[in-house]
Amino acid sequence: MKLLFNFEELIKMILNHSNEIVVIAVMNEVPVGFVCAQYYQSICYSDPSAEITELYVTSHARRKGIASKLLNYIENELLINGVKSVKVLTGKKNGITIKTYVNSNYIMKDEQVLQKKF
């Protein structure tokens, strides 16, 4: 079976046609974490908004400031794209990750999440 794209080409193609930013952390030439964000413009708001959709650091690379550095880097990329507000959705029991966001000046809001699957 012949593949139409290799993995790197596929990722580049997807990212070139979206408003998603992906940042990968590497230690000793090995990926140890990543963060993903999507930004979008709405007719309802004058400035683009964004959502951090994923933040992950491998267990052996945690507690080294990598998550904070990933957040800082992706926030700067979002600023370059005109974003003035970023939201995050994470589980209530995800205490370590919530602490990382709070330490990066994110504010916890009292909102209800609703979801519908098709």
Instruction: For the chain, 118 residues long, give each residue's pLDDT as a single digit of tens.
Output: 455 656 677 667 666 767 889 999 999 989 999 999 999 988 888 889 999 999 999 999 999 999 999 999 999 999 999 999 999 988 888 888 899 999 999 999 888 878 899 9
Cβ atoms of 25 and 61 closer than 8 Å? yes
30: enclosing H helix or E strand = strand 30-40
DSSP classification of residue 45: -
Nearest to 67 by CA among 100, 23, 38: 100
Domain 20-103, CATH 3.40.710.10 — does that match? Answer: no
Domain boundaries, the chain: 20-103
